[in-house]
Amino acid sequence: MGFLESGCGWLLYWLWRLDEEYKNLYFEVKNHVTIKPSEYFYRQCFVAIEPSEPYLARIIEYIGSDNLIFGSDYPHMDHQPEVVKKVLELEEQLSQETVQKIVWDNPARFYYCT
């Protein structure tokens, strides 16, 4: 499942909230939901990042980079040369390996799986 065109800043809160609700309401869902919601997310979900998100490095610190993808939004108006430049500038704040995952490896896994 992919969550696209909304950035990833909301993700930390929602993973925490879903796991909290699962913990508090486990008795209601235990027959159908066998693992924490965050585990389902890590197993089968992807979230598109915006390269200019101010807390991107911190989010990656918290959840890792395996479930993040970059969507170019081509041919929409916000796919401009400046966006491509911002993606290339990600290597200033993130490792080359992480950028490789976000712009190539993870999108390839996402589209291959769907």
Number of domains composing the chain: 1
Contact (Cβ atoms closer than 8 angstroms) between residue 53 and residue 42: no
Q: How far apart are CA 6 and CA 3, in angstroms?
A: 7
At 77 the three-state DSSP class reads coil
**Amino acid of residue 92:** E
At 80 the three-state DSSP class reads coil
End-to-end CA gap in the chain:
8
The pLDDT of residue 77 = 65
Q: How far apart are CA 75 and CA 72, in angstroms?
A: 8
Domain range for 109: 2-113
Tens digit of each residue's pLDDT, the chain (114 residues): 999 888 999 999 999 999 999 999 999 998 999 999 999 999 999 999 988 888 898 999 999 999 999 876 666 666 666 776 777 778 788 899 999 999 899 999 998 865
The pLDDT of residue 86 = 76
